[in-house]
Amino acid sequence: MEKQELKAITEIKAGKLIAIASTETEDRAGDSLKVKDWDFVNFMKNPVLQAGHDYRPQYTIGVAKNIRVDGRKVIFEPIFHEITPLAKQIKQMYEEGILRAWSVGFIPADGNKRPKHELLEVSAVAVPANQEALMVEMKSMDKSQEHEIESKLKEFVESNIEERDIDNDENEAPNEEDVHTEEESDVIEETPVSEAPETEEKDFSPWNPQLPSVFAKQFDVREVKPAGLTFENDVFTKFFNCEIKEVFTNTFHVPSPLVGTYLTAVSRIFENYDLIDTRNWSYSGVENPPVYEVIQLTAQESQEFLVEGTMFYKMKGQNSLAVQILPSWSGLMVTLISHNDKREWNKEMLSKVKTWAEENNWLRGQKFALSGKFIQDSARSFDDIVLSKDKIETIKHSLKVVDDGAKSRGLLFYGPPGTGKTMTGKALLSHDSTFIWVSSKDMDRIGAVSALRLAFELSRNLSPTILFIEDVDKWIGGYATDLLKTELDGIQENKGLLTILTSNYPENLPDALLDRPGRFHEVIKFDLPDEETRAQMLFKWANGINEEKALEVAIKTEGYSGAHIKELIDYSFMIMEDENLSISEAIDKGLDKLNSQKELITTIRQSKKGFGTIEMKEGRVISKGNRKKLEVARDAISEVLEIDSTSRQMEDEVSQEDKELRKAIENEIAKEAHITGDDIDEVLVKALQHIVSVSNRTLHARKKQVKK
């Protein structure tokens, strides 16, 4: 019978990877399989996890532990092995939430000889067919509870094997009325769906301790001879002159910021040993050239390293070691490989690598983003910032935490966009300490929790440190909130570490982060500048303007943020050079241009038929054609805003109007609103007007950069 597939999704719950193999929900193909119709008996004898339904040995990535029925779901615990890079990387992708889906391969029931669907294997896949099988609600358990559950499970399995008769229907899954739901129990009982009868031979050690001992009688891993080795494993067995099971691997992950430091550590630790060869091969065994890259060590220094391949060393005293380096989603995977007899020596070598990296970290005293990209000193200082004297003094006083190695709970900067929060961060770059900049884009690749954990770990190891976490309101929530609270409260002492969080919309911050006084030792509000402050900005930043003209322009710029004033001055300098105008004349002309843009944006926002407030009319649902038009408008706006944001580097100068416009279009696409074609046309006209205004501003900025 031809193998079929039914797919489902998985998630991490309470720190434990729990996967859904199948539900009773109808999938995209229209198939729906009932829990009672599954046959797991043969699968439990060999509960393999595969990658993409490829049954070749090298695509086996682990086992499905404790496969069981819970309510109307079939769930299991994926256990990944550490033998191949493929398995290790797939494991990491599931743990970091990049992959979530699983797919089951099975032989369908035929109603006669095969009354149930026989499960063959479970595979890791990227796209599921069953959209409803989303997660398993698991309550966290401490170690004692876990041991208790495991003990009860073992007793249950053994007692049931002794009591059940071989003539009973072994394959029958629990009836729906017999299966408990998640609401009926605080802890899911890990109940096997079916067991085979006990045999006389009981002195067998099963290869999977969770399986009944009878399965060990039918399958003994110690007696299985490999059909063949992968190219990689064949190389290792020959290099170490042993069987593959005698090869010991020791793997660790190097996050992006530490790649330069750890690759230097590897080269230093093994520099006195003989490098026999360097090879690089794919999972399928195809030989490729070793990959080398120039890695930035500091803002000024760089060096070339192997970033994809395996180095084979012969050590003194006949010790041999292979060092494998492979790219990962967020850094590098480094594996030290040796004979199993040398495992303690292998661990010792890894310890030396880590010790060298900790003692000689290239990042100490550097200014860098969490992605590992180094930040050039902006040459800004507090003299460039127009803030009230008391706020500047508060910020400067907080720097004593860094200088004196004292404890700190952190600062919170909040206020509308463009009011100086990011510029203050740039001024802090000049301080004599390590500076780590964390922005929303750092959360996209590794997630908020991993990013926070890495940021605080680096900050403590590289202290004295300023940790600047930008726009926290954009990504904070869930466990990330709890982690941030823990880090700020100082379970681990934050000596010599000043943490600064910025927020444009503090009202969106979780209550749990602001649930008690004293979580931050200072909270500083960045307001829109008043008339006097705007005049100070113009006089300080517009070189050549007199105080009288600065005050005149300040009166005309009511509601402008500091970023708007800076934009006005930059634009004025550009047209001053292009049109040979004085600074005063250029500012007048630039002000007319920017005011017209602001009026256009205000009109869009206030329009009753504008984005987010389109009048709903009874009539047609958005057609595919009109929906496509909206999506094109959304994508175009997103692209020009991305270019605009990039051209401004890290400054928080993408206006709130820009962000609301993009968000409003997303809302209209998602709502499936009942609107007419005329409404769609008006939406598109306004979107195109905005694209033109933003594009014009961006092109001028690009032109200025080219001239430089």
| pLDDT single digits (tens) 249-298 | 999 999 999 999 999 999 999 998 999 999 999 877 889 999 999 999 99
Domain spanning 231-362, CATH class? alpha beta
Domain residue spans of the chain: 1-224, 231-362, 382-525, 607-707
Distance CA 360, CA 358 (A): 6
Q: What pLDDT sits at residue 684?
A: 60
Domain 382-525: assigned CATH number: 3.40.50.300
> Can you tell me the mean pLDDT for 322-331?
91
DSSP 583-600: HHHHHHHHHHHHHHHHHH
pLDDT band at 139 (very low <50, low <70, confident <90, very high): very low
Distance CA 430, CA 413 (A): 19
How does pLDDT run across 196-206, given as a tens digit for each residue?
Answer: 344 444 444 44
Report the range of poorest mean pLDDT among 432-446, 473-487, 693-707: 693-707
Percentage of residues of the chain with pLDDT beyond 90: 22
Q: What is the pLDDT of residue 294?
A: 96
Predicted pLDDT of residue 541: 86
**What does pLDDT average to over the chain?**
75
Q: What angle do CA 52, 54, 59 make, to 5 degrees?
A: 90
What confidence category does residue 36 fall into, taking pLDDT thresholds of 50, 70 and 90? confident
**Mean pLDDT, residues 487-516 taken together:** 81
What pLDDT shows up at residue 116? 86
Torsion of CA 18, 21, 25, 29, to 10 degrees: 140
Beta strands in 193-347 (DSSP E): 247-255, 274-281, 287-288, 291-296, 302-314, 320-328, 331-339
Mean pLDDT along residues 599-613: 58
**Do residues 426 and 455 touch, judged by C-beta distance below 8 A?**
no
When pLDDT is averaged across residues 345-358 and rounded to a whole number, the result is 95
Residue 468's pLDDT band (boundaries 50, 70, 90)?
very high
Is-same-fold flag (231-362; 382-525)? no
Q: Which of 291, 292, 293, 297 is nearest to 264 (CA)?
A: 297
Q: 370 Cβ partners below 8 Å, 6+ apart?
A: 256, 257, 436, 437, 438, 439, 442, 451, 454, 455, 458
Map tokens 């039914």 to a residue: 6
Residue 576: which pLDDT band, with cuts at 50, 70 and 90?
A: confident
